Structure 1
Amino acid sequence: MIEVTLNAKSTQGALKLMKSYFGGEITERWGEYTLTFNNDIGKGCIRCITFDWGVSLLEIDALFFEDILIVSRNEHFNPIRFSYCSQGCYKNRFENETDFHTVEQFHSSIIVSKIGLKLYTLFPKEVHIVINDIRIVRTEFLKKRNNQLSALNENLYRVFVDDKDETAFAYYSPIHLRMEDYVKTLRDLKTEGMARMLQIEGEVYHLLSMHIARHDKYQNNEPLPNSLSNEELKLIRRHAKKIVDDPSLGYNLDQISRDSGLSQAKLQEGFKFLYARTVTEYIRHVRLEAARDLMNTTDLNISQIVYTIGFTSRSYFSKIFKEKYEMTPHEFRKQVVVINEKTES
């Protein structure tokens, strides 16, 4: 086991300390600092970005060849950590605890220690881990005039206003598949420069709101559906992704039930939980979004688009398109043309 002691004053400082243990090189571009390493200890990359008001993002995408124990001493830098595990698993515990808590794939956590109490994080060897870790320094965040702390539930409010770091707090969420879609969007951004930084910051705040909303559900005793297991929810998400990847296929509840091996009742419950829509509503939503994208990016006419995305009736498509976007497909296409002409001129 390799023990890595971190006692930095910032997320960027923690990245520099990691380099002293893991080796590799740190590069910087548009305010993103990335540590890349490939040696006997492990291979992968760790990147960090710091925003205003004490908010920063640390992302780990790595495979270690030895067990790695991260010891966070929290003497100079003790942020609230909103973490999400996209791949693999890892473990956490406070210094005064004997047992680790395992954070599985697609699970999240909210953790903050208190001054003088070490936080241990264990990355098991030979496990590819991908972690999104949003960190908030309370003394800085409290200066933000529109931080809206009063809207937090009582437990999280106490954590945020504890600027003297006197209380340890740990919340481990059950599976949260919807968050993975947003984390993936954040990882896959292709923009550059200032636009990229603004997009990343916007996605970070979106993810924070999802962490807080999930904790609110926990506080209000709104657990996951009892009839669905984690594996069943993952299976439902895979079939939902198939619909997004190719919305033109003839999807329906019967066919998805046969392909997935799940009952129609479980499918409906899972889609409502993950996407707040029935199966039919989700299929229709994805097709309409695909139609809108095609109107924005191609020269296909409306009829061609209708059949490309899997609808068979142009009149039905026009009806539900107007219900969703408050304009007809023809009006939307005219709007796109006008915007493109202004951009070109």
Structure 2
Amino acid sequence: MIEIGIKPDNLKDLLIEIKNHVGGTIKEEWNEFTLLVNNDKATGSIRFMPFDWGVHLLDFNITFRDDVKLSMHANGFNPIRFAYVLNGYFEHKFSADNRRILIDQYHSLIFTNKADGVNYIYFPKDTKLEINSIEIVRKKFLKKRTTNVATLNKKLYEVFVDTDEENRFAHYGALNLKIADLVKKMQTIKAKGMLRVLRIESIIYEILSFHIQRHDKSQQGVPLPTSLTKSELILVRKLGKSILKNPAKNYSLDQLALATGLSQAKLQDGFKFLYNRTVTEYIRHVRLESARDLINTTDLNISEVVYSIGFTSRSYFSKIFKEKYGLTPNEFKKQLVTAVAM
């Protein structure tokens, strides 16, 4: 086992200490620090990016060739950490505990320690790890003008305002596929320079919001759908993405159930959990969003838009469009023309 003990003042110290144990080189571009490793100890990369107001990103995309025990002392650098596992898994425990907790694929962990505590992270060998961690330094973050932690639920509020780091906290989150999409989106950013930094930062705040939403639901006692397994939820998500790409296709619940091998009841449970909509409501929502984009970005007339997104009745389309957006399609189109003329 590779044992790495760290008393960091910041995440860059952590990156340097990992490099000292597994080798590799650290490159820096636009304040994005990346440890690149390709040897008998590890293959892959670990990225660190600092942002304003005490927000940091730590991304693992690496395979260790031996088990790794990371010991992070909290008396120098002790942020709130929002970790998410896209691939692989890891285990966590506080120095005050004897039990390790498994954080599996598509699951999350929000944690922070007392100022004198130690966080232990255990990484498995020969397992591709893709782990996203957003780290918030509380004293700096609370100085941000738009930060209003009073809107958080009671437990998270207490964690954020504990700037003297007198309490330890851990929340082991349930399955969350929405964060997976955002982490993948962040990985595909090709932009350079300031544009790249801004795009990554915007996704970081999106991911953070989903961590907080999921914690809210757990505090409210909102359960996962017990009728579906993790693999079945992943199937539902793939189906949702397919509908998003092809809204005009003629969908039926029977056909969708047959295509996925899931019962209609499981499909409905999955869509309600992932999208807060029934299957029919989701299809209608996707078509209306697609219609609005077509009206906004093309020269198609309303009838052409209606049939291009899978509706057969213009009057029905106009009715549900107004219910959703507060304007008829024609009113929406005229509003766009007026705005361009001005």
TM-score, normalised relative to structure 2: 0.88
How far apart are the structure 1 equivalents of 2:47 and 2:176?
23
The one-character-per-residue Cα deviations of 1:61-114 (angstroms, maximum 9, x if unpaired) are 122222122111223111110111111211111123222111111111111122
Q: Is 1:77 matched with 2:77?
A: yes
How far apart are the structure 2 equivalents of 1:25 and 1:119?
25
Matches within 5 A, 1:148-159: 148-159=148-159
What SS does the aligned partner of 1:53 have? helix
How far apart are the structure 1 equivalents of 2:213 and 2:76?
29
1:241 Cα deviation (Å)? 1.8
Q: Structure 1: which 5+ runs fail to align? A: none
Q: Is 1:263 matched with 2:247?
A: no
Matches within 5 A, 1:308-323: 308-323=308-323
**Structure 1 residues 316 and 67, CA, compared in 2 at 3 Å: closer, same or farther?**
same
How far apart are the structure 1 equivalents of 2:323 and 2:249?
23
AA aligned to 1:87 is N
AA aligned to 1:38 is N
How far apart are the structure 1 equivalents of 2:10 and 2:338?
47
Identify the residue that residue 162 of structure 2 maps to in structure 1. Answer: 162
RMSD: 2.6
What SS does the aligned partner of 1:221 have? coil
Q: Structure 2: which 5+ runs fail to align? A: none
Q: Is 1:278 matched with 2:293?
A: no
CA contact (8 A) 1:178 1:275 kept: no
Q: Is 1:12 matched with 2:12?
A: yes
What SS does the aligned partner of 2:175 have? coil
How far apart are the structure 1 equivalents of 2:43 and 2:340?
44
Moved segments of 4+, more than 6 Å: 334-342
**Greater alpha carbon shift after TM alignment, 149-158 vs 319-328:** 319-328
Identify the residue that residue 123 of structure 2 maps to in structure 1. Answer: 123
AA aligned to 1:69 is K
1:136 Cα deviation (Å)? 0.7
Identify the residue that residue 134 of structure 1 maps to in structure 2. Answer: 134
1:280 Cα deviation (Å)? 0.8
Identify the residue that residue 61 of structure 2 maps to in structure 1. Answer: 61
How far apart are the structure 1 equivalents of 2:187 and 2:54?
21
Matches within 5 A, 1:30-45: 30-45=30-45
How far apart are the structure 2 equivalents of 1:245 and 1:26?
39
**Structure 1 residues 312 and 40, CA, compared in 2 at 3 Å: closer, same or farther?**
farther
**Greater alpha carbon shift after TM alignment, 220-229 vs 55-64:** 220-229
AA aligned to 1:85 is V
**Greater alpha carbon shift after TM alignment, 282-291 vs 328-337:** 328-337
Matches within 5 A, 1:284-303: 284-295=284-295, 303=303
What SS does the aligned partner of 2:243 have? helix
**Greater alpha carbon shift after TM alignment, 198-207 vs 66-75:** 198-207
Q: Percent identity?
A: 50
**Structure 1 residues 245 and 40, CA, compared in 2 at 3 Å: closer, same or farther?**
farther
The one-character-per-residue Cα deviations of 1:108-161 (angstroms, maximum 9, x if unpaired) are 111112223221111111211211111011222233344212222222222222
Identify the residue that residue 202 of structure 1 maps to in structure 2. Answer: 202
1:336 Cα deviation (Å)? 6.3
How far apart are the structure 1 equivalents of 2:256 and 2:295?
28
TM-score, normalised relative to structure 1: 0.88
How far apart are the structure 2 equivalents of 1:236 and 1:99?
34
